[in-house]
Amino acid sequence: MCIGKGEITDQFHIGGIQLPVVSSCRDLGVTVRNDLSPSDHITDRSIVVRAHRRANLIHRCFISRNVTLLVRAFLTYVRPLLEYNSIVWSPYHKCDIIAIEYVQRAEHSYSQRLSDYYHLICPV
């Protein structure tokens, strides 16, 4: 993989075997494209899909609907997927940012989320 916008004119060989030219590769769990865009990492077989699956699994497996418990489970099992190595793949496209934030908003309407947040901070 060559980083940049120019055309690849050179062929690279190791031990007489030509290396394939690829537009993206996965290293240390982060998919990087030749233009350094994080979109493949975020959307394609990605962190967003895995985070949605884990959030749904938490929703199905926990019998209790205690908000504090569910938030703690989310912070323990889902959020690390979304934040792992984020310094490297920090999203800058609006669609990528929305995809990541949607994982946190998928379960409830905005008013319900505000109500849950208020009760979490200010218990009655």
> What is the CA 111 to chain-centroid distance, rounded?
25
Q: What is the mean pLDDT of the chain?
A: 77
Domain hosting residue 76, numbered range:
37-121
Domain membership flag for residue 16? no
Please provide the size of the chain in residues: 124
Domain membership flag for residue 94? yes
23-72 tens-digit pLDDT: 788 877 777 788 777 777 777 667 888 888 888 898 888 888 888 888 88
5-15 tens-digit pLDDT: 767 667 888 89
Q: How many domains does the chain have?
A: 1
Residue type, 41: H
Domain membership flag for residue 102? yes
Domain membership flag for residue 117? yes
Higher confidence at residue 110 or residue 27?
27
Domain membership flag for residue 74? yes
Kindly give the residue spans of alpha helices, DSSP state H, lying in 1-124.
39-43, 47-61, 67-77, 79-83, 86-89, 94-105, 110-121
Confidence of residue 120 (pLDDT cuts 50, 70, 90): low
How many Cβ atoms sit within 10 Å of the Cβ of residue 115? 13
Q: 68 and 120 in contact (C-beta within 8 Å)?
A: yes
Q: Which two tokens stand for residue 42?
A: 């975020």
Domain membership flag for residue 3? no
Domain membership flag for residue 114? yes
Confidence of residue 107 (pLDDT cuts 50, 70, 90): low
